[in-house]
Homo-oligomer: A and B are copies of this chain.
């Protein structure tokens, strides 16, 4: 089996890929609105994985932004985009994975949504980090990856949606909808290769 792992450049999605890699062939998939240029392909190469870009339509970004503004918080809008990203990846891979974690709030599919996604798209959906708490993930990431922290430095949808919301509706709207700080991790390298990546 070959798994397409959604890759935002952050430590969680990189760790999800590493956890799968001894057992299945892994490709990193970056889904993007093309609003902000990204170095996902370079990072994937550093991590030792093939990389694929998938583009999402700006219309989806605007719909998701409308949802966020109506709700007054970003979770539901982020989930809309994440579900679409998963579906696009599911058109290309028999197994789709992401870096969502036990302690995440959004994006995060419910149990029913995860099952429905698998049944509807005839794929296997794996969330390698779902059984891990935040502290465990941070420890494991520190052991296996080099990464930095900063404001809006990864290339997940949230960064793009914030920027598009700001250019369309102004900074005040962004500040009302999103939390003030958006500290993100970004991988810069791989520390430890004392396990073997499975052959295709």
Q: Which residues of A are interface residues toward B (Cβ below 8 A)?
A: 1, 19, 22-23, 95, 102-103, 111, 114-115, 118, 124-133, 135-136, 139-140, 143-144, 194-199
Contacts and interface: CB of A to CB of B under 8 A. Distances in A.
Chain A contact surface mostly: loop
Please indicate which of the listed interface residues A1, A115, A125, A136 has the most CB atoms of chain B within 10 Å of its own CB: A136
Given A131-B131, A196-B196, A23 B140 contact: yes
A199 B144 CA distance: 14
A135 to B, nearest CB: 6
Contacts of A19: 19, 23
Nearest to A132: B126
A131 B128 contact: yes
Contacts of A23: 19, 140, 143-144, 195
B195 A139 contact: no
A126 B118 contact: no
**6 tightest A-B CB contacts, nearest first:** A127-B131, A130-B131, A22-B195, A124-B136, A22-B22, A196-B196
A88 B99 CA distance: 30
Nearest to A98: B131
A132 to B, nearest CB: 6
Contact of A131 (B115, B129, B133, B197): B129
